[in-house]
């Protein structure tokens, strides 16, 4: 056979395959979600997310130590407050669950990078992501409480805030509030293209944030749309976002690609709870190889253009990257 082109030459062994990889990743690009429950002492497994835990304020440093042991140096915090009301006032309480969790982490691990999820749904008694007016979320009233919440996180020592509410104008509102209070150097990671997705199911069970009526389609994006994601990203860039995000990840690889091609900002992807839980369940049923599916999913997200990844698999992926099995 006279074959000049034999792509298999570069696939012959591990050494040459590793050398020729087009997608490079490192544990530096991983962010681990930590759930802190104000009513909890110690650690409690999360039923809807096999292998994940709720941490009490007395044990949140344990979650950080586990991250550090695997070489994961960034987290995103989610809070379960002891009390909820119509406007979610526990979200911006100076001594609220997130504010205290940040202080506990920073007292012991000042260099561990703490990002906070900024949203109202875990703090409102109706479970929607903002202040209600009738059965609708009032955009402009919600901007005030989001800004207050973000400011209280930063005042408690958060390194970065990540608004996930999908209100219009929230990046500008939060940026202004942070700047007016002297926090001009605190970056904002925007959940720019966040879709109204069924993949958040296990998270809502874990965070106690299932809406008591209706759904989130009035503020989160329609999965049919791509140009709208570009518009959301463009608005966030204009309003001063430092990092853009697409969420969920695996069912939205085209959106990650389009948005990372179109904008110069770093691009984050969120491999959400349903993506994780499906792999876990399929593996538990003996249907797939969990480790390989985890690795392949992460590679595909970075290959699509993500520069960083929020994932419940952060620790396991960091190990895989260190071994050179991916990355
Ligand atoms: C809060 C928020 C949600 C997630 C991250 N921040 C839930 C939602 O929007 O309903 C989902 C994360 C996941 O599923 O892992 N608004």
Write the DSSP symbol of residue 260.
H
- Kindly state if the Cβ of 119 falls inside 6 Å of ligand 1: yes
Ligand 1 atom nearest residue 78's Cα: 6
Average pLDDT, integer, range 282-290 = 98
- Kindly state if the Cβ of 121 falls inside 6 Å of ligand 1: yes
Question: Ligand 1, residues 49, 164, 310: which to mutate, most atoms within 8 A of Cβ?
Answer: 164
Catalytic choice (84, 148, 231, 247): 247
- Copy the structure tokens of residue 126: 């109706």
Q: Do the domain assignments include residue 101?
A: yes
Q: Which of 270, 272, 248, 312 has its CA nearest to residue 33? A: 312
- Kindly state if the Cβ of 164 falls inside 6 Å of ligand 1: yes
The predicted structure's pLDDT at residue 95:
98
Active site residue 247: yes
Active site residue 280: no
- Containing 239, the helix (H) or strand (E) segment is helix 227-239
Query: Are the CB atoms for 245 and 268 separated by under 8 Å?
Result: yes
- Kindly state if the Cβ of 272 falls inside 6 Å of ligand 1: yes
Sign of CA dihedral 4, 7, 11, 16: positive
CA 115 to centroid of ligand 1, rounded, Å: 14
Q: Do the domain assignments include residue 5?
A: no
Per-residue pLDDT band at 104 (split at 50, 70, 90): very high
CA 145 to centroid of ligand 1, rounded, Å: 18
Catalytic choice (82, 106, 194, 322): 194
Q: Do the domain assignments include residue 173?
A: yes
Domain CATH for 106: 3.20.20.70
- Kindly state if the Cβ of 203 falls inside 6 Å of ligand 1: yes
The predicted structure's pLDDT at residue 276:
98
- The residue length of the chain stands at 327
N- to C-terminal Cα distance for the chain?
35
- Copy the structure tokens of residue 155: 């005042």
Ligand 1 atom nearest residue 201's Cα: 14
Ligand 1 atom nearest residue 129's Cα: 16
pTM listed for this prediction = 0.97
The predicted structure's pLDDT at residue 220:
97
Ligand 1 atom nearest residue 194's Cα: 9
Q: Do the domain assignments include residue 251?
A: yes
Q: What residue owns the CA closest to ligand 1's atom 6?
A: 164
pLDDT more than 70, % of the chain: 100
Query: Are the CB atoms for 31 and 37 separated by under 8 Å?
Result: no
- Kindly state if the Cβ of 273 falls inside 6 Å of ligand 1: yes
- Please report how the helices 290-303 and 253-262 are oriented relative to each other, as an axis angle in degrees rounded to 10: 30
Query: Are the CB atoms for 86 and 134 separated by under 8 Å?
Result: no
Question: The domain containing residue 86 runs over which residues?
Answer: 24-322
CA 125 to centroid of ligand 1, rounded, Å: 16
Q: Do the domain assignments include residue 2?
A: no
**Domain total in the chain:** 1
The predicted structure's pLDDT at residue 1:
84
The predicted structure's pLDDT at residue 123:
97
Render pLDDT for 11-26 as a digit per residue (tens, 0 to 9).
999 999 999 999 999 9
Q: Do the domain assignments include residue 10?
A: no
| Beta strands at 43-45 and 53-55: parallel, antiparallel or unpaired | antiparallel
Query: Are the CB atoms for 286 and 280 separated by under 8 Å?
Result: no
- Lowest mean pLDDT across 90-99, 203-212, 306-315: 203-212
Average pLDDT, integer, range 104-114 = 98
């Amino acid at each position: 056979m006279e074959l000049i082109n034999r792509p298999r030459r570069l696939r012959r062994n591990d050494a040459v395959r590793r050398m020729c990889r087009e997608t490079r990743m490192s544990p530096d690009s991983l962010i681990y979600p930590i759930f802190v429950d104000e009513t909890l002492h110690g650690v409690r497994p999360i039923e809807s997310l096999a292998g994940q835990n709720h941490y009490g304020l007395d044990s949140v440093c344990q979650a950080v130590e586990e991250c550090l042991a695997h070489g994961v140096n960034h987290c995103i915090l989610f809070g379960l407050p002891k009390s909820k009301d119509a406007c979610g006032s526990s979200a911006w309480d100076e001594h609220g669950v997130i504010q205290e969790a940040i202080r506990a982490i920073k007292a012991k691990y000042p260099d561990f990078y703490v990002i906070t999820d900024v949203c109202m749904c875990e703090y409102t008694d109706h479970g929607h992501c903002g202040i209600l007016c009738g059965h609708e979320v009032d955009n402009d009233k919600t901007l005030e409480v989001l800004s207050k919440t973000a400011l209280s996180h930063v005042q408690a020592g958060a390194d970065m805030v990540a608004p996930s509410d999908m209100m219009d104008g929230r990046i500008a509102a939060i940026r202004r509030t942070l700047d007016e209070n002297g926090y001009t150097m605190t970056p904002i990671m925007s959940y720019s293209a966040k879709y109204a997705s069924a993949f958040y199911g296990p998270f809502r069970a874990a965070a106690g944030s299932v809406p008591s009526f209706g759904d989130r389609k009035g503020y989160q994006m329609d999965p049919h749309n791509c140009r709208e994601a570009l518009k959301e990203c463009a608005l966030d860039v204009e309003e001063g976002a430092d990092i853009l995000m697409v969420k969920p990840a695996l069912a939205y690889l085209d959106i990650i690609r389009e948005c990372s091609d179109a904008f110069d900002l770093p691009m984050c992807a969120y491999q959400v709870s349903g993506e994780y839980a499906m792999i876990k369940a399929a593996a538990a049923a003996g249907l797939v190889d969990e480790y390989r599916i985890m690795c392949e999913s992460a590679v595909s997200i970075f290959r699509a253009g993500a520069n960083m990844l929020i994932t419940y698999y952060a620790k396991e992926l960091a190990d895989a990257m260190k071994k050179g099995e991916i990355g």
